[in-house]
Amino acid sequence: MMSTTTQTIHNFSAGPCILPQSVMQQASDAVLELNGSGLSLIEMSHRSKAFVEVMEEARSLVRSELQLPDRYEVLFLQGGASLGFLTTALNFTPVDGSMDYAVTGTWAKKALKEAKKMGQAQALTSSEDTGFDRIPALPGTSNASAVHITTNNTIFGTQYAGDPVVDKPLVADMSSDIFSRPVDIERYSCIYAGAQKNMGPAGTVLYIYDKEQAGQSGRDIPSYLDLQVHADKDSMFNTPPVFAIYTSMLTLRWLKAEGGVKAMQQRNAAKADCIYSEIDRNPLFNGFADTGSRSVMNATFTAQDDSHTPLFLEACAAAGINGIKGHRSVGGFRASMYNALPLSSVKVLAEVMQEFERTHG
Amino acid sequence: MMSTTTQTIHNFSAGPCILPQSVMQQASDAVLELNGSGLSLIEMSHRSKAFVEVMEEARSLVRSELQLPDRYEVLFLQGGASLGFLTTALNFTPVDGSMDYAVTGTWAKKALKEAKKMGQAQALTSSEDTGFDRIPALPGTSNASAVHITTNNTIFGTQYAGDPVVDKPLVADMSSDIFSRPVDIERYSCIYAGAQKNMGPAGTVLYIYDKEQAGQSGRDIPSYLDLQVHADKDSMFNTPPVFAIYTSMLTLRWLKAEGGVKAMQQRNAAKADCIYSEIDRNPLFNGFADTGSRSVMNATFTAQDDSHTPLFLEACAAAGINGIKGHRSVGGFRASMYNALPLSSVKVLAEVMQEFERTHG
pLDDT in tens, A134-159: 999 999 999 999 999 999 999 999 99
- Could you check whether B23-257 and B260-360 share the same CATH topology? no
Q: What are phi and psi of B307, to 5 degrees?
A: -65, -15
Please tell me the distance from the alpha carbon of residue B79 to that of residue B125, in angstroms, as a whole number: 27
Size of interface A-B (CB pairs under 8 A): 205
pTM of the model: 0.97
Please tell me the distance from the alpha carbon of residue B207 to that of residue A149, in angstroms, as a whole number: 32
Chain A touched by B137 (CB under 8 Å): no
Chain B touched by A37 (CB under 8 Å): yes
Please tell me the distance from the alpha carbon of residue B281 to that of residue B278, in angstroms, as a whole number: 5
Active site includes A325?
no
Contact B3 A38 (CB under 8 A): yes
Per-block average pLDDT, block size 10, for chain A (361 residues)? 65 97 98 95 96 98 98 98 98 96 98 94 98 96 97 98 97 98 98 97 98 91 97 97 98 98 98 98 98 98 98 98 96 98 98 98 90
**Domain residue spans of chain B:** 23-257, 260-360
Say which of A100, A133, A173, A210 is annotated catalytic. Answer: A173
Q: What 3-state class would DSSP assign to B336?
A: strand
Under the phi-then-psi rule, with left for phi > 0, alpha for psi from -120 to 50, and beta for the rest, what region is A3? beta
Per-residue pLDDT of chain B (361 residues), as tens digits, is 344 456 889 999 999 999 999 999 999 999 999 999 999 999 999 999 999 999 999 999 999 999 999 999 999 999 999 999 999 999 999 999 999 999 999 999 999 999 999 889 999 999 999 999 999 999 999 999 999 999 999 999 999 999 999 999 999 999 999 999 999 999 999 999 999 999 999 999 999 999 999 888 999 999 999 999 999 999 999 999 999 999 999 999 999 999 999 999 999 999 999 999 999 999 999 999 999 999 999 999 999 999 999 999 999 999 999 999 999 999 999 999 999 999 999 999 999 999 999 999 9
Report the relative pairing of strands A98-103 and A120-126 from DSSP bridges: parallel
Please tell me the distance from the alpha carbon of residue A33 to that of residue A37, in angstroms, as a whole number: 7
Which chain B positions have a beta carbon within 8 Å of A118's beta carbon? Answer: 222
Which chain B positions have a beta carbon within 8 Å of A25's beta carbon? Answer: 32
Active site includes B173?
yes
Chain B touched by A136 (CB under 8 Å): no
Please tell me the distance from the alpha carbon of residue B12 to that of residue B330, in angstroms, as a whole number: 16
User: What is the 3 state secondary structure string of B129-150?
Assistant: HHCCCCCCCCCCCCCCCEEEEE
Contact A222 B114 (CB under 8 A): yes
Contact B15 A239 (CB under 8 A): yes
Distant-in-sequence, close-in-space partners of A215: CB < 8 Å, separation ≥ 6: A91, A227, A228
pLDDT of B2 reads: 43
Contact A16 B114 (CB under 8 A): no
Q: What is the pLDDT of residues B81-97, one digit of tens each?
A: 999 999 999 999 999 99
How far is A283 from chain B, CA to nearest CA, in Å? Answer: 30
How far is B147 from chain A, CA to nearest CA, in Å? Answer: 20
Angle between the A242-257 and A49-65 helix axes, to the nearest 10 degrees? 40
Which chain A positions have a beta carbon within 8 Å of B40's beta carbon? Answer: 19, 24
Active site includes A173?
yes
pLDDT of B3 reads: 45
pLDDT of A215 reads: 85
Has the ipTM of the complex gone over 0.90?
A: yes
Q: What is the pLDDT of residues A102-116, one digit of tens each?
A: 999 999 999 999 999
Q: Superfamily assignment of A260-360 in CATH? A: Aspartate Aminotransferase, domain 1 (3.90.1150.10)
Q: What are phi and psi of A334, to 5 degrees?
A: -140, 120
Contact between A205 and A74 under an 8 Å Cβ cutoff? The reply is no
Say which of B168, B197, B271, B325 is annotated catalytic. Answer: B197
E strand map for chain B: 10-11, 72-77, 98-103, 120-126, 146-150, 152-153, 158-159, 170-173, 190-194, 205-210, 285-287, 298-303, 321-322, 333-336
Distant-in-sequence, close-in-space partners of A129: CB < 8 Å, separation ≥ 6: none
* Contact map slice: B 160-199 vs A, CB within 8 A: 194, 196
Chain A touched by B123 (CB under 8 Å): no
Q: Given this structure, which CATH class describes domain A23-257?
A: alpha beta
Contact A223 B82 (CB under 8 A): yes
Contact A323 B194 (CB under 8 A): no
Please tell me the distance from the alpha carbon of residue B186 to that of residue B163, in angstroms, as a whole number: 10
pLDDT of A1 reads: 37
